Amino acid sequence: MSVELLNQDTVVEYLIDKKVISSGDNPQVEVLTGGVSNVVLAITTSNQKLVLKQALAELAVSEKWEADQRRAIVEADALNLFNQLSPDQVPKLVFLDPLRFILVLERVPVGSTVWKSDLLAGVINPDIGAKLGKTLATWHNYGQENPQVKLKFTEDALFDQLRIDPFYRFVAAKNPQIEVAIRKLINELEADKTTIVHGDFSPKNIMVAMNDEIYILDFEVAHVGNPVFDLAFLIAHLVCKFFRTDDRLHAKLLANTAAAFVKEYEKIRPISPSVAKHAALIALARVEGKSPVNYLSVEQQRKLQSFTKAILGNNANLTVAQLFEMSAK
């Protein structure tokens, strides 16, 4: 059954009806962009700064990509959990409508920037990677050590719809020469139910405040699974940006950011030796998968494809440092 989507003209009446805001709050609405899976609207009143998200049934990409709208409920549960663990880094959930797959959360401080935009603009601070590594390792440890909290995240159908199918299987089908290697990576993800995994730990979902404090968003792919995916997902994005830049300093800072991320994570918990292969596959999927990045030239795409396929075709595991060292050659 289709669900009516909110827009800039209907959201205020909806929120007043749900008693999230009042008519006397002088609400102002702004359409936010940057995602492909949700309607995203910012609502500012005299005393609140909020963001409303409503899950789409079909993602706004060129390839057909359907996804269960119940991911809004998963995200609400994850926001409640991770806000308790990291209240200074995860916004508070304000409201959930499980019938229309709508959630409302507090907006991060005005003036915060999307980390992806910073990286593409050459604003690269490895300390951000270090903070993220420490936070992620803490979350993964908590999920592993507290089995009772995993109960709300045990269904992994959303992870299959939004990650394994469009990133792993879709790329495997295009590349029979590395299909066996990709199938092994899929098996590794599907067989491990160690902890709660964010599932979309990407620079586009990380906001950086003017004082360099970080905010982590978009938990709709949260599930019980293999923590290597979160590490690889972030590293893959740094690899893509590494291939994009011609500036040697920017390249070094991107490599240092990945190194700081891994170093801080490893202070708290170990990392799977397959992390570089997962990162290579996810980076390849950002060119050949269902949701390609839009900032790589044809030549940069070609180089990234050649590099990642060589990594996946080799039986040896690389460290994250070696991944960037080889990228630079």
280-300 residue pLDDT tens: 999 999 999 888 899 999 999
On whether the CB atoms of residues 252 and 329 are closer than 8 A, the answer is no
**In the structure encoding, which two tokens stand for residue 159, read together?**
């992870």
Strands, E assignment, 171-274: 195-197, 206-208, 214-216, 223-225
Q: Where do the structural domains in the chain lie, given as residue ranges? A: 11-106, 113-327
Average pLDDT, the chain: 92
Higher-confidence residue: 65 or 192?
Answer: 192
For residue 329, is pLDDT > 90? no
User: May I ask the CATH architecture of the domain 113-327?
Assistant: Alpha-Beta Complex (3.90)
Does position 20 have pLDDT exceeding 60, yes or no? yes
Sign of the dihedral defined by the CA atoms of residues 45, 8, 72, 19, in that order: positive
61: confidence class by pLDDT, cuts 50, 70, 90: very low
Percentage of the chain modeled with pLDDT above 90: 78
Helix (H) or strand (E) holding 145: helix 126-145
Answer yes or no: same fold for 11-106 and 113-327.
no
Residue 308, number of CB atoms within 10 A of its CB:
29
* CATH match for 11-106 among 1.10.1060.10, 1.10.240.10, 3.30.200.20, 3.60.70.12: 3.30.200.20
DSSP string, 242-256: HHH---HHHHHHHHH
High-pLDDT (> 70) share of the chain, %: 95
Q: How far apart are CA 26 and CA 48, in angstroms?
A: 10
What pLDDT digit, counting tens, does each position of 219-255 carry? 989 999 999 999 999 999 999 999 999 999 999 999 9
3-state helix vs strand vs coil in the chain, percent to 5: 50, 15, 35
Q: Which one has a higher pLDDT value, 213 or 110?
A: 213
**Contact of 280 with 233, CB cutoff 8 Å:** no
| Token pair recorded at residue 308 | 């990642």
Arithmetic mean of pLDDT, 179-186: 97
CA-based torsion, 202, 118, 238, 56: positive or negative: positive
Asked if 156 and 225 count as a contact pair (C-beta separation under 8 A), the reply is yes
DSSP structural state of residue 153: G
Mapped onto helix, strand or coil, the DSSP state of residue 35 is: coil
pLDDT above 60 (res 67): no
Say what the pLDDT of residue 1 is.
46
Cα separation of 258 and 118, whole Å? Answer: 15
User: What pLDDT digit, counting tens, does each position of 256-282 carry?
Assistant: 999 999 999 999 999 999 999 999 999
Q: What is the mean pLDDT of residues 148-163?
A: 87
**Measured between alpha carbons, how far is 52 from 80 in angstroms, rounded to an integer?**
16
pTM of full prediction above 0.85: yes
Sorted by sequence, the CB contacts under 8 Å of residue 245 that are 6+ apart come out as 122, 251, 254
Q: What is the pLDDT of residues 81-140, one digit of tens each?
A: 999 999 999 999 999 999 999 999 999 998 999 999 999 999 999 999 999 999 999 999
Q: Distance between CA atoms of 93 and 87, rounded to whole angstroms?
A: 11
How far apart, in whole angstroms, are the C-alpha atoms of residue 305 and residue 224? 30
